[in-house]
Amino acid sequence: MRFTLREWSLGLAYKTMSLPIKIISTDFDGTLHSENEVPRVPKHLELLIARLQHQGVVWVINTGRDLNHLEAGLSLAGMSIRPDYVVVVEREIYKHVEGRWDSVEAWNTECSRAHEILFQQVKRSLPIVVAEIENRFQVTIYEDRYSPLCFIAEDVETAAEIHKYLDGVFRDLPELTVVRNHVYARLSHRAYNKGTALAELGRLLNVSRDHIFAAGDHLNDLPMLSKDYAHWVVAPANAVPLVKEAVLRESGWVSDLDCGHGVAWGLERALAMHGLTFE
């Protein structure tokens, strides 16, 4: 028997089946949201997520933005819904509670401690590393509260070269990784990323990977676009080639549609496999 999500929301399907998806994890820029579209998040996707949230599905935005930057993006998008959780700067977890963001303290405290210890080891060599990068590449280098070394390269090719250089420089620090999205990058602890944060949410909510859906478009999304963390992994048509290749290796789906339209397509396909359609 098949049910529409409208029928589900009226309770007609409750005794017959349970929703296969219990957590939806979406990247923000280029996946959920597009600055080149009006509205920036497709209304079709917004309504689909809203109906799933109404039935108890947890939605998490899993992004490289910090919390303030994400809030600004959500406001500009004009969405009528908010995520139940967010993962910001690819590692910190916050829960949405009555209009505020509450830190998932145990995870965030340990995350901060691990990064502080790691970055103390890194800082001694940074002056030489920064001088070498600035000598070889057209790049803006800066430090922020999340990383002692961040950069904005002049183009994607330069970003990839700097990334490769940093991997070589820090090869004796296996805990250290470079997290990159387009021309932007920062140093981070390998144990804390979009995938491990998603796994922590699954643990907190008692949801196994078999009931998790993840969608992303760029390199910093790769950790969560893995069957280690999600049963359904999806990339929109605008995803970079390395992401599309990784998703297909994981037996995931690559949409022919861009950004949020591709996410909606993936969600609908996953639901349809379990007899649910969206109307």
Band of residue 11 on the pLDDT scale cut at 50, 70, 90:
very low
- Overall average pLDDT of the 124-130 stretch: 95
Q: Domain boundary residue among 129, 154, 189? A: 189
- Are 37 and 157 found together in one domain? no
Residue 258 belongs to some domain of the structure:
yes
Q: Has residue 7 got a pLDDT over 80?
A: no
Residue 272 belongs to some domain of the structure:
yes
Residue 99 belongs to some domain of the structure:
no
Distance of alpha carbon 38 from alpha carbon 43, whole angstroms: 10
Residue 21 belongs to some domain of the structure:
yes
- Are 149 and 174 found together in one domain? yes
- Are 246 and 175 found together in one domain? no
- Overall average pLDDT of the 37-41 stretch: 96
- Are 182 and 199 found together in one domain? no
Cβ–Cβ under 8 Å, residues 134 and 141: yes
The helix or strand, by DSSP H or E, that contains position 96, with its residue range, turns out to be: strand 92-97
Residue 169 belongs to some domain of the structure:
yes
What residue type is 136 in one-letter code? R
The CATH number linked to 56 is 3.40.50.1000
- Are 65 and 121 found together in one domain? no
- Are 199 and 234 found together in one domain? yes
Classify the C-alpha dihedral 122-195-260-10 as positive or negative. Answer: negative
Residue 108 belongs to some domain of the structure:
no
Band of residue 2 on the pLDDT scale cut at 50, 70, 90:
low
Q: How do residues 77-96 score in pLDDT, each as one tens digit? A: 999 999 999 999 999 999 99
Residue 107 belongs to some domain of the structure:
no
Q: How do residues 166-205 score in pLDDT, each as one tens digit? A: 999 999 999 999 999 999 999 999 999 999 999 999 999 9
Rg of the Cα trace of the chain?
19
Residue 30 belongs to some domain of the structure:
yes
Q: Has residue 1 got a pLDDT over 80?
A: no
Distance of alpha carbon 260 from alpha carbon 27, whole angstroms: 10
Cβ–Cβ under 8 Å, residues 216 and 244: no
pLDDT at residue 12, as a whole number:
40
Q: How many domains does the chain have?
A: 2
Q: How distant, in Å, are the alpha carbons of 40, 42, 170, 258, 273 from that of 36?
A: 7, 12, 37, 11, 31
Q: How distant, in Å, are the alpha carbons of 23, 97, 121, 202, 228 from that of 270?
A: 13, 28, 44, 19, 18
Q: How distant, in Å, are the alpha carbons of 87, 215, 278 from that of 29?
A: 13, 11, 24
Query: pTM of the entire structure?
Result: 0.93
Percentage of the chain beyond pLDDT 90 is 91
What residue type is 32 in one-letter code? L
Q: Has residue 13 got a pLDDT over 60?
A: no
Q: Domain boundary residue among 137, 155, 189? A: 189
pLDDT at residue 18, as a whole number:
80
Distance of alpha carbon 137 from alpha carbon 191, whole angstroms: 29
pLDDT at residue 3, as a whole number:
47
3-class DSSP state of 167: helix
- Are 213 and 165 found together in one domain? no
Q: Has residue 8 got a pLDDT over 60?
A: no
**What's the domain range around 185?**
114-189
- Are 12 and 78 found together in one domain? yes
User: What does residue 61 show for φ and ψ, rounded to 5 degrees?
Assistant: -90, 125
- Are 182 and 223 found together in one domain? no
Q: How do residues 207-226 score in pLDDT, each as one tens digit? A: 999 999 999 999 999 999 99
Per-chain mean pLDDT for the chain: 94
pLDDT at residue 75, as a whole number:
95
pLDDT at residue 277, as a whole number:
84
Which residue from 166, 180, 250 is spatially nearest to 220, judged by alpha carbons? Answer: 180
Q: How distant, in Å, are the alpha carbons of 103, 105, 173, 187, 223 from that of 198?
A: 15, 15, 24, 20, 10
Which residue from 60, 52, 5 is spatially nearest to 32, judged by alpha carbons? Answer: 60
